Amino acid sequence: MTGPRATPPPLTVLVLGGYGHFGTRIVKALAQDSTLRLVVAGRDATRARALADAVGAQALALDAADPQLAQRLRAQGIGLLIHTAGPFQAQQYAVAQACADAGAHYIDLADGRRFVCDFPAALNDAFTAAQRCAVSGASTVPALSSAVVEQLSAGWRAVHRIDICIAPAQTAPRGVATLAAVLSYCGAPIDIWRGGRWQQAPGWARPSAVRFARMAPRRGALCDIPDLELFPSRYGVRDEVMFRAALEVPLSQTVFAWLAALRRAGLLARPEKLAAPLHRGAPLFDRWGSALGGMFVEVSGLDAQGQAAQARWDIAADCDHGPEIPCMAAILLARRLARGDGPPPGAHTAAGLLRLDEFAPEFARWGMVTDLA
C-alpha cells in the first residue's frame, strides 16, 4: 500500500509591476488561489506593500533593470515571474533572461510585435536548458485572439481571412504605459498580410466603420500587434489578416488619425511622448462615452466540406470590466503551472496555448457576454 500523495508546495509567483494597471488585477485574482504564494513587486516599495497587505501577499521592492535581478529572484525562491511593467515595444529581454538564469518560469503581457514575435528564437535555448517555460503575449493578443480563431475554424480546410477589432470603453481605467505603447506606432508603416502578400499601411490612420453584436457602431483603425505577423503562417491565411482598434468617442479616433498624419508628414517624430498629457485629458471625453467595451473576431474560409464559410465571435464587457480581459491569459497560465500543467520547457508566444473554453469562467466572473454567429 502507498500512502496519500504529498501536496506539492505552493508555487511562488512574483508579479512585476504588481501594483500597476494590469498587475493589480492579476494580483487580486491570484491571491485567491491557495496553490500560489504571491509576491507584489515593483520599484515603489510603498505601493507594493499597500497592495500586498490588502490581499495577504508579500511585497518586494524590485527594479526590472537591476543587474542582480537573477540573484534576487533565486534568493526569494521565485518559481514564476509575471511581467506586467510595459510598454514592451522599447524593452529588451533582460527580465526573461534573468528568469532563465534563476530557474524560474516567465510570463508577460506584451503586445509589442517585435518583442513577442522574436521572443522564442531569442530565449528558447536558455529556457530549454533551465527546464523552465517562458511565454510572451499572454494577453488579449495573441493568447485570446488565437483561442477564438482556433475554435471558429476548427476542422476547416482553409482560412482565407481573419478580422479582429477591439473596442475599449471610454470610461474604463487606462494606463499611461498602454497609451504610450499604442502611440508608438501611430502613423508608422505597419507590415500587413493583405491581398495574399505583404504590404504596408500606416497605424491609426484611415479609420473605417466596424459593427459589434451588442454595441453601437464605431470606426476602427489599424494597430500593430503580434497577430499580424504570427497568424498568416500559423493558420495559412490566403488573403488577409487585419487588426483594428475602435475608440468609443469619434473625436478620440479622429485625434489619433491627426497624430498619424502629423507623423507621416514628418512633423511629429515620437507620438508616444504625448502619452502623459493625453492620458490626463482623456477623462474630459467621458461624458460622451460609456462603460461598455468589447471585441470581435471574424474568420472566413472553407469548412470541412470545402464550402465557403464564415464565423464570428463577439464579447461585450460592461461596467468598465474590459481591462480584465488582457489579464486573463496570464492568470490561467499561472494556475496551470501551479498544477504542473504548463507549456513545455522553452520559449513560446502565447498563440495556441489556451483554449477558448478555458476563458469562459473568467468571462462569467465579470459578467461578460459572448455571441457566436
> What CATH number is associated with residue 63?
3.40.50.720
Q: Do residue 201 and residue 291 come from a single domain?
A: yes
First CA to last CA across the chain, in angstroms?
A: 54
Residue 32 — very low, low, confident or very high, per pLDDT cuts 50/70/90? confident
Q: Do residue 197 and residue 107 come from a single domain?
A: no
Per-position DSSP letters for 7-57, written without gaps between them: PPPPEEEEEETTTSTTHHHHHHHHTT-TTEEEEEEES-HHHHHHHHHHHT-
Say if 6 falls within a structural domain.
no
Look up residue 115 and give its three cell numbers: 518583442
Q: Do residue 301 and residue 170 come from a single domain?
A: yes
Q: Is the pLDDT of residue 6 over 60?
A: no
Say if 369 falls within a structural domain.
no
CA 172, CA 292: separation in Å to the nearest integer? 8
Say if 43 falls within a structural domain.
yes
Tell me the pairing of strands 36-42 and 308-317: unpaired
Q: Do residue 245 and residue 145 come from a single domain?
A: yes
Say if 3 falls within a structural domain.
no
CA 193, CA 231: separation in Å to the nearest integer? 9
Q: Is the pLDDT of residue 292 over 80?
A: yes
Q: Do residue 185 and residue 241 come from a single domain?
A: yes
Q: What is the pLDDT of residues 77-128, one digit of tens each?
A: 999 999 998 878 878 999 999 999 999 999 999 999 999 999 999 999 999 9
Q: Do residue 248 and residue 165 come from a single domain?
A: yes
CA 247, CA 294: separation in Å to the nearest integer? 11
* Residue 171, domain CATH: 3.30.360.10
Q: Do residue 168 and residue 216 come from a single domain?
A: yes
Q: What single DSSP character describes residue 344? A: P
C-alpha closest to that of 226 among 278, 162, 270, 155: 162
Q: Is the pLDDT of residue 2 over 60?
A: no
Domain interval for residue 273: 141-322
CA 95, CA 288: separation in Å to the nearest integer? 40
Q: What is the pLDDT of residues 147-156, one digit of tens each?
A: 999 999 999 9
